[in-house]
Amino acid sequence: MDLMTSDVPVGDWTIRTHQAGDPADPTILWLHGSGPGVSALSNWQALMTTMPGYHHVAPDVLGFGDSSHPEDLPLGVADSAALRARAMLQLLDVLDVPRAHLVGNSMGGMIALLLLQDQPERFDRAILMGSAGEPTADLIKMITYYDDPSPRAMLDLMGRFLHDPGRYGDDLDQIAADRAEIAARGDIRRSHLRTFSPDGPLLVFDVETLTGIDHEVLLVHGREDRIIRKESSYYLADLLPNAQLHVLPHAGHWVQIEQVDRFRALATLFLGATASDTTGSAA
């Protein structure tokens, strides 16, 4: 399927938005994770162009990539994620999408949980990948990238996200160099530092919040994930009433890249199921 890219006006901002498929089909809103130089296409292009039967909407989330970078982006993960969730709802309004499935990777999964909590009637099924969890040493390395940014530091960081960096050969060097160049932009650096500022609150989903989300949820986690430990998805699976969990081997934090065929098969099966197909599937 072909991609269509546009800058969608959303209030005072613009959201760089990639779309594929027929808008008359069910919509999937793809929410990428955080990290210096991240974008929607780097997370989702291989999936949104190879899953027919859906209208795919993959934005650069507010404060990432080529979307607007508000100078007053709230400090800290909790408040900045809340603003980003609000921007995603406005984007769906502008695109005239009344209801959508959600797919969220890492921070995108956290934003997805906020959306399910705040406007449950607006969303159908959700897929969460490596979403939420206690900080690891490798996550801290990502957060503090701008302490000493460089192509070499970006290559090291990307190796921490992947189970087997060697399978990508010299291509990974070029990908890291390109991503380091994007990360060097002043607006991207500012948004990253404000998002992870210690002066703002952390985002915590308590037991009451999670048990109150009754959507069908597919949790996917890479067994070798060093950024967010797989135990965090076990925690979510224990509390989300209608969750199922799949831990995929030979995958780190980027399951959608390292296990793209398996992920596509799981997502297609899950999103296409009816309520009766998943009754009793809670983890």
For residues 255 and 218, give the distance between their C-alpha atoms in angstroms, rounded to a whole number. 13
Asked about 12 being catalytic, the answer comes back as no
For residues 234 and 245, give the distance between their C-alpha atoms in angstroms, rounded to a whole number. 7
Task: Count the Cβ atoms, other than its own, within 10 Å of residue 237.
Answer: 19
Q: What is the dihedral of CA 171, 173, 177, 179, to 10 degrees?
A: 60
For residues 54 and 172, give the distance between their C-alpha atoms in angstroms, rounded to a whole number. 31
For residues 88 and 249, give the distance between their C-alpha atoms in angstroms, rounded to a whole number. 32
DSSP class per residue in 84-136:
HHHHHHHHHHHTT---EEEEEETHHHHHHHHHHHH-GGGEEEEEEES-S----
Asked about 79 being catalytic, the answer comes back as no
Rounded to the nearest 5°, which phi and psi values hold at 167? -70, -15
Asked about 225 being catalytic, the answer comes back as yes
Catalytic residue among 18, 55, 215, 253: 253
For residues 238 and 224, give the distance between their C-alpha atoms in angstroms, rounded to a whole number. 20
Q: Where are the beta strands (DSSP E) in 228-279?
A: 243-248
Catalytic residue among 39, 80, 106, 233: 106
For residues 10 and 97, give the distance between their C-alpha atoms in angstroms, rounded to a whole number. 14
Given a contact cutoff of 8 angstroms between Cβ atoms, the answer to whether 24 and 81 are in contact is no
Q: Look at the alpha carbons of 96, 100, 104, 109 in this order and tell me if their dihedral is positive or negative.
A: positive
Catalytic residue among 66, 131, 225, 246: 225
Strand 243-248 vs strand 217-222: parallel, antiparallel, or unpaired?
parallel
Provide the annotated active-site residues. 106, 225, 253
